[in-house]
A and B are shown apart, each in its own frame.
Chain A
Amino acid sequence: MTSAVATRRGSYIDRPSPSSLADVVELILDKGLVIDAYVRVSLVGIELLTIDARIVIASVDTYLRFAEATNRLDLYEKGGKDLSELTESLSEGGASGKTSGAIEGAEKKVEEFIGGSDDDSDDDGDSGDDGDSGGQRQRARSRSSSSRRRSRSSEDAE
């Protein structure tokens, strides 16, 4: 994340140019005037992207994640802990790595769906970059449930 600060044109703003696929999806998906009968797209994969970004943040998982990060932070800072604490931090770190790996996997899958290999986002893997708001997602959710299951099982395989 620190590298995002050092940047093109000496700017402090992280400004993708051209916009990454993830940015474009977040920007235009579900936006714009609709003529109902005439929107014809296979959006299944695209909806997955936003859905999976949203389910990253379940509160218990979030609390554990930040507890772990807080613990680890202290470890780096002071450099000394007893062995049991060290082991605990390491095992938590492992679990978290697995989770974010699965999420990245899902996103990769989505980009395959919509053919976006030429144009990968330069996300650094931090979760939540593609989160979005809105009740509109409810529709998306029910509509793409079957493909979502597919994506789940591919995560499990990883």
Chain B
Amino acid sequence: MTASLAAAPTAGSPEAECYVFGVVDAGTRLRAPLEVGLASGLRLVEHGAVAALVGAPPPERALGRASDLVDHDRVLADLASGGVAVVPLRFGTLLPDDATVVAELLEPRHDELRRLLDVVRDRVQFTLTARFERDTVLREVLEDNADIQRLRAAADDGMGSRLALGERVVGELMTLRDGEAAALLTEIEPVVAGQERQTSDPLDVARVSVLVELADAAAFEQRLEEAARRRAGRVTVRLVGPSAAYDFLDGG
């Protein structure tokens, strides 16, 4: 990717005709697709049991506008949440023609693609972020820890005393986070798989993507709703999805 980016043309290259969103089963029926932007003329290029989902790239400019990103995501999300198994390709994948789509993607990776389709079949991804409400949790930390109260009282203009206070507060937040994250993730079970992301922000409780059975999606949302309600005022829960299973394409 590094090499291709370095050599990437800054304007749309005339020879590229196929914007590839992802891979689906051959024979998949496309419901009325949104006929805008990248998704114009959405169609399938089939080979064996798999098919590339192909749209027309914008003719006279480079990819990378906000609307391109949104189109890419929306096309894949619509399919996934509509029950179509779809393996997303990296945003920005442009191939010159149908023959190359087959030669570079569908033919050499046919079996891998079939396996990945089985991983994501009838499943969707949700991405959730839970964050502490700062003042609520700081008040808690202050009330529950006499040593932090002492540090606070002793903190003066000196950098050292403020650092000591901050370090202790952040340490306490990390401890609270671990318990809170574990509880939250338990409450939203069952999920097919989960992937937690590293985060260095002390107010983050969890940043996690989960793979959920499509049939269980509504129940999952309800479980999360309950978990969020129980934490209202202390933890904010943010949810993106359902989307294609971007984070679950290896392993399986």
Seen from chain A, the residues whose Cβ lies within 8 Å of a Cβ on chain B are 1-2, 4-5, 11-16, 18-19, 21, 23-43, 45-46, 54, 56-57, 60, 62-71, 73-74, 76-77, 88, 111, 114-119, 126-129, 131-134, 139, 143
Contacts and interface: CB of A to CB of B under 8 A. Distances in A.
Nearest to A47: B5
Secondary structure of the B side of the interface? mixed
Nearest to A63: B166
Given A13-B237, A40-B16, A70-B138, A33 B1 contact: no
Contacts of A129: 129
B177 interface: no
Interface of B: 1-6, 8-10, 13, 16, 20, 22-23, 62-67, 69-70, 72-74, 87-95, 104-105, 109, 116, 127, 129, 131, 133-135, 138-139, 141-142, 148, 152, 155, 157, 162-163, 165-167, 169-170, 173, 197-204, 207, 221, 224-225, 228-229, 231-233, 236-240, 243, 246-247, 249
28 contacts: A13-B224, A13-B228, A13-B239, A16-B240, A19-B240, A24-B69, A31-B88, A32-B88, A32-B90, A32-B246, A33-B89, A33-B90, A34-B89, A35-B90, A35-B104, A40-B62, A42-B62, A56-B201, A63-B165, A65-B166, A69-B134, A70-B165, A71-B155, A73-B139, A88-B157, A126-B131, A131-B199, A134-B197
